Structures are given as structure tokens and as C-alpha cells.
Amino acid sequence: MRHAYCGQPTMAKRLLASLLLVALGSGTVVAMATDQGFSRGMVVSSSEEASQVGQDILKNGGNAVDAAVAVGFALAVTYPEAGNLGGGGFAVVRTPKNQIVTLDHRERAPLKARPDMFLAEDGTLDADLSLESHLASGTPGTVDGLLALHERFGRLSRRAVMAPAIALAEEGFKLNPILAGRIQALLPELSVRPASRTKFTHNGNAMAPGHRWRQPDLAKTLRRIADEGRAGFYQGPVAKMLVAEMIRGKGLIEQADLDAYRSIWREPIHGRYRGHDIYSMAPPSSGGILLVQMLNMLSLYPISNWGPGSTAQHHLMIEVARRAYADRAEHLGDADFYPVPVEKLLDKSYARDRIAGFDPMRATPSRSVRHGSFNESPQTTHYSVIDADGMMVALTTTLNSSFGNKWVVAGAGFLLNNEMDDFAASDSEANQYGLLGSVANAIAPGKRMLSSMTPTLVLKSGEPVLITGSPGGSTIITTVLQVILNVLDHGMTGVAAVNAPRLHHQWQPDTVMHEPNALSQTSADTLRSKGHQLTEVEVIGDANSIWIKEGRFYGAKDPREPGAAVGW
């Protein structure tokens, strides 16, 4: 099983990366994190090139949405593990007038999808089909979503915000060692994927760090989108290439799916915690609901008195997550297809009932924790943007697995997603993250698959406090939760909150995953004595965040992945 928290830089590499700090003039600083506060703009992403693109857009008169859209298209060029044209995502936006809106541009199941399409004759999940094949691809939403964001809130022209991504694809950029290594590790899987081999090699050979990587087919696709808007991707030559790729690979996406795709503006999930307003995504993301549900349970305890990294907090957070993820498995899905009990899950009295059986001395076995009764790649990427007017953007985007299903659309230069694995193929088969599901997240034509993406804004009395989010599959929600707890309960700076070690629990499998430095030996021994099973993983999440204090912006580029915080 591949995990979102694997294959990322070691702690030594992360510490070296955190020393990066480059002053560019005009008050701009590119860094892994910014101790210096800025007032005119901040962009934090997992690509130094993409972060710089966003900041250039701000400096040339664009607002935070212009910058976010420019970053999104740039990531499709410079961060192909998760940045994409062939995937989808979610965005949370706060306007200068303090309006909060969210955009769902999650992928949809093709109209010919079937509930049993990934099951073998014996009823078990065929992971090759759900992860590696053309059948694994849902109808892409990224392009429609970025264009919808720009059309509603953007200030600059579409060509202006897309020009930097086109230039990066046409002129190329120098591969950093991490991306070069990930591409090299991918090469054995490309022998049966000719278009992918063309894109990710130099004349069939591995590209070394420092190689200037040019992507001419992707540049042509981006230019068509810049010139024609939505029609440049969902109709015309690019759409024909995508449909032809589906026919070659026996996939399901047809022109009718592309014609029918539309992003959806949804009401944000809203919660209150320690006097702060928390805004995040509604279904088909499970992130917002689980985040607020867990905060509701945690609000009943004096976490700030216990201190960061305390065994008491770890034990409580594990038990809270156990209960919330059990509810996720039963009740969460696309609310356009299934009656998700949103209000009940967010109700503080429900949270009180849910945690009522908490025992501070003992772990609750997951087998005894069922969903409450009532009357979510390994590779994703998150970026955060704020401008001088206080417009905030939290945007998380993904192909699901790293490089999606690894199939590049011939002639169009972009990767396909494998998001269909995020559906529940059956109620007894977990997806690649170990997550279980029910009929709420069963495959259905046109349905959006459940996600764990959790782009989140935190405000106090209407003023910005934090922009955060993360990749990491099922670990996304607990990553965001811990960043928020570190800031609001423990008074950490944004940088300290993001850098702090993490752990994760998701009900099933019944194990606590933790980073190497997350638990002291005493804490680990105490948790085991309470009945917790512990599993060490390399890293969890990549929470690219912006912390706002007294009107100044502090960028927190998570050192677990490459990238940059660019302040102006």
C-alpha cells in the first residue's frame, strides 16, 4: 500500500531546506518560511517557481484569486506529482468584504461508471483497475474550477494569469533534485505508457537534477485554455485527445462527460473554536465536517493547559479522530447523491455525546466504535495566498496517487487522475489510504467521490488569522487539525505550528501513525500502556500555511516538501 506520507524528504534534508532564504529586491523574499512579516502579499506552495509566479501576479496588480489561479496552472507544469490539469480540488475564498465562498471542482465519475466496476469475480477489489488503468480516471475538474474562480473574482485577464505557466512549459525550468528523483523512480512504470515516457524522459533517458525540462504539448494545451477559456480544454482538440486516450485505454470518459462537467459553488462548513471562526469545505469533501466535529469534541477539554506534544493531548486527539473517522466511513459522500447529515455531525451536543465514553486511561478499540446514530493521494498539494486587501485563498488540488494513474494524454501533455479509487468499491474493501466507506460513497454515474481535502481559513472577529491545508490522503484532516491546535491552543507562530511533529489515527486500521520525532519514549510507552498500537512513518502532510498577526503575513512552507513562501 502506498501512503501519502512516504517518499518525501528526510528530516536532515528538511532542516537543510529550511535554511533557504533569498532576497529578490522590491521587498520580496523567497524562503521555506518567513520570520519577517509582510503586508502586500504572500504565496506559499510546494513549488518555488509556482510561488514566485503567484507573487509576480500580485506585484503586477492581481488579487489573491488571480495569484491562486496562476499558481494552480503553474503547478501543473512544475509539480506534476499533484499539480494538474487532469485532476480536481477544492477552494475556500474570503473576499475583502469578508464574504466566505467555497468552490467544489472535484472530479466526477463518468456517466458510464458502475458500482461494481472495480470488483473481481470473487467480489474483491482489483487495485490495478482502480489505481493504474484508464478506468481509474474521473472527469477532470481543475480547469473548470480555476477558470470559474478567475471569472468570478479575478482582476487581471485570463491570458495574463496563465502566461507564466505557459512560459514555464515552453521555456522549461531546472529540475530540483527531489522532482528529478521522483521522475526517475517513475520510469520503470512508463514502458507501457509511450506518451508518459516522452514527457518524463529526455530522448528516453532519465533527466538529471538541473536539467531544463520543457513540456511543449502541455504548453499548447495551456495556450488553448488561455485563448479559448473552458472550451480550450473541454471541447475542441484537447477534448478529442482526451477521449481518444480513453478509447485506447478502455476508459470511460466521453465527450458527454466533458460537456456535462461544471464546478459547484457550495456553502462553506463553519465552526467556532476558542473564539475563532473556522471555514472549510463541505461534501463531497469530508474535511470540513470532520475538522469541525473534532474541534467540537476537543473544545470540551483544557488542551492549552496540557501543553503541545503532551501525552494527554495525544491520547485525546486519537480518541476524537477515531470517532470522527468512524462517522466518515458511514455518513460522508457526495451530498448531491446522498443525504449527508451535515447539521447533526456539526452539532456541539452530538460532539458531546460522541466523546462521552472517552477514558483518559485507556484506548477505545476501533472494533467497538461504530458510527454515530442519528434521529477520503498519496500525493495532493495545497497552497495558500493572501493579498494586501485581506483576500484569502486556500486551495487543495490532486491527481490522487503521485502522478495519478501515470498515463499522459497523448498530444495534450497532461496526466490523468486515478480518483475513482476514492469511491467505496464495496463496504468491506479499503482504498489505498486504508479508508473504508459505505453506500454514501458508492460509485454512481456523475457522482463526485469523497475526499479528505481540507482547505481552511481561520478568522477572529472577521480578521484573518490563518490559511492552511495539506496533502496526505486520510492524514490531511488531522494535519490541518494539529496546525490549528498549535496556533489557537498553544500560541505557536505559524512556522512553529507547521514544523511541529504530527501523528494520525483514522479509526481503521486501528493504529496510531506518527512521525519519528512526534513522541518521546515516555509518551510512546504511556500510549502503548493505554492500549494504542503505534506505527512510525517518515512524514505526515505538507501544510503550506500563512499566519496573520497584526496585519502582517508570515509564510510557513512546510519543510516536509520542497517549495517556497514568497512574501512582498
Of 380, 456, 475, 479, the active-site residue reads: 380
The whole-angstrom separation of Cα 72 and Cα 403 is 16
Three-class secondary structure of residue 22 per DSSP: strand
Instruction: Determine the distance from the C-alpha atom of residue 360 to the mean position of all C-alpha atoms in its chain, rounded to a whole number.
Output: 32
Neighbours of 421 (CB within 10 A): 24
Q: Is 380 a catalytic residue?
A: yes
3-state DSSP of 482-496: HHHHHHHCCCCCHHH
- Answer whether the bond into residue 509 is a cis peptide, omega within 30°: yes
> Which amino acid, 209?
P
Residues ≥6 apart with Cβ < 8 Å to 85: 73, 76, 140, 142, 143, 218, 221, 222, 225, 233, 414
Q: What beta strand segments (E) does 136-294 contain?
A: 173-174, 212-213, 264-266, 269-273, 276-280
CA distance 319 to 360: 9
CA distance 476 to 46: 15
Task: Transcribe 472-536 into DSSP letters.
Answer: -GGGHHHHHHHHHHHHHTT---HHHHHHS--EE--SSS--EEE-TTSS-HHHHHHHHHTT--EEE
Distance between CA atoms of residues 365 and 373, nearest Å: 18
The rounded distance, in Å, linking the Cα atoms of 39 and 19 is 23
Cβ 222 vs Cβ 165: under 8 Å: yes
DSSP string of 203-220, one letter each residue: TTBPPPTT-EE--HHHHH
- The grid coordinates of residue 305 equal 493547559
Residue type, 226: A
What are the b/e assignments for 529-567, b being 16+ CB within 10 Å? ebebebeebebbbbbbbbbbeeeebbbbbbbbbbbbbbb
Measured CA distances, 136 to 132, 309, 405 (Å): 7, 39, 7
Q: Which residues are catalytic?
A: 380
